[in-house]
Amino acid sequence: MRVLGIDPGLTRCGLGMVEGSVGRPLRLIDVGVVRTSSHLPVAERLVTIERGVEAWLEEHRPDAVAVERVFARSDVSTVMGTAQAAGIAMVCAARRGIPLALHTPSEVKAAVTGNGRAEKAQVGAMVTRILRLEVAPKPADAADALALAITHVWRGGAQARIEEARLRAVAAARRSS
């Protein structure tokens, strides 16, 4: 399974692609960041993010996209920019019919480090270890995007199998009634 993880942000939108499956070593495909200038109007910045995400989707053809679920922070302007960038990423995936999942920051931290309150440095260190990299991806947005992709491979596959089993059970119950 190839998963594109997206750590949304208006100034830096992290993108990380991994390939693998549960129980097998994961492989880094690519990692990067789409950057926008805070001096530009928000609409132009969102267009830049859209173009960057679209280019990654076109080049890497992921089987799924995992985006960080936006959560409330103290700075409303940060939340708004993050939510806008996340919306762009979600639209890009939906437009192509690519399955999309949202993972909370604590879920990602717990999956990758075992601690839902891990610091960014811990996440970066574990991403480096899990993907057998020589150095941690920089900036932190890039490592966070890879952590999202890793989380989705490890948890998303299980969630999909649970949902498939639930649907089979519902169908079987309907047939027997």
Token readout for 95 is 């437009």
Q: 44 catalytic, yes or no?
A: no
Q: 141 catalytic, yes or no?
A: yes
Token readout for 159 is 């969630």
Q: How many CA atoms within 13 Å lie on the side-chain side of 102?
A: 12
Q: For residue 44, say whether it is annotated as part of any ligand binding site.
A: no
Which of 58, 75, 141, 144 is labelled catalytic?
A: 141
Which of 68, 144, 163, 164 is labelled catalytic?
A: 68
Q: For residue 68, say whether it is annotated as part of any ligand binding site.
A: yes
Token readout for 38 is 């805070």
HEC sequence for 35-74: ECCCCCCHHHHHHHHHHHHHHHHHHHCCCEEEEECCCCCC
Q: For residue 7, say whether it is annotated as part of any ligand binding site.
A: yes
Residue ranges of the binding site for Mg(2+): 7, 68, 141
Annotated catalytic residues are 7, 68, 141
